[in-house]
Amino acid sequence: MAITYHTETTPFRYRGRRATTRWIRETAAEEGCRCGEVAVIFCTDDLLLALNKKHLGHDYYTDIITFDYSESDTIAGDLFVSVDTVADNARGLNIPFAQELQRVMIHGILHLCGYPDKSEKEAAVMRAKEEYYLRKRAEAEP
């Protein structure tokens, strides 16, 4: 099935789609899942805030909202990513924008694979998984 990349309300253009698609598929497979229809939608803070208010009842900015349509072992969903917040987070962490963007995207994929992050323990597992898959991606890149 397809992993697609889109933009809404931002001029941002994502490069590296093939490598990212491969990485997402490999991550899902390692987690015991298959990829169905996954859309990564890059947007602004304003759009993500509106989605956060409307669908989750949260009145704050965030870096990603994951809408999960997965069934059984097939992941599917929409990952709305605020490039504004990702850029702010990257600056605050003093890391490259691309690295933070990858962390946010794999975070959404891990949610589709069934990982929650509401409790401290769940968040710690999520962070460890993110770091693991970020290392795997970095090792695979030339």
In DSSP terms, 38 is beta-bridged to 3, 77
Mean pLDDT across the stretch 40-46?
98
User: Where do the domains of the chain lie, and which CATH numbers do they carry?
Assistant: 3-140 (3.40.390.30)
With 0-12 / 13-18 / 19 or more C-beta atoms within 10 angstroms meaning exposed / middle / buried, residue 134 is middle
pLDDT digits (tens, 9 = 90+) for 59-116: 999 999 999 999 999 999 999 999 999 999 999 999 999 999 999 999 999 999 999 9
Residue 142 has pLDDT above 70, yes or no: no
HSE on the CB side for 24, CA within 13 Å?
Answer: 32
Mean pLDDT across the stretch 38-64?
96
Q: Are strands 3-7 and 34-43 parallel, antiparallel or unpaired?
A: parallel
Residue 1's pLDDT band (cuts 50, 70, 90): confident
Cα 75 from Cα 63, distance rounded (Å): 20
Q: Say which residue, 38 or 141, is predicted with more confidence.
A: 38
Q: What is the pTM of this model?
A: 0.96
Give pLDDT, residue 17. Answer: 95
Using DSSP, how many helices (H) and how many strands (E) does the chain show? 5, 4
Residue 28 has pLDDT above 70, yes or no: yes
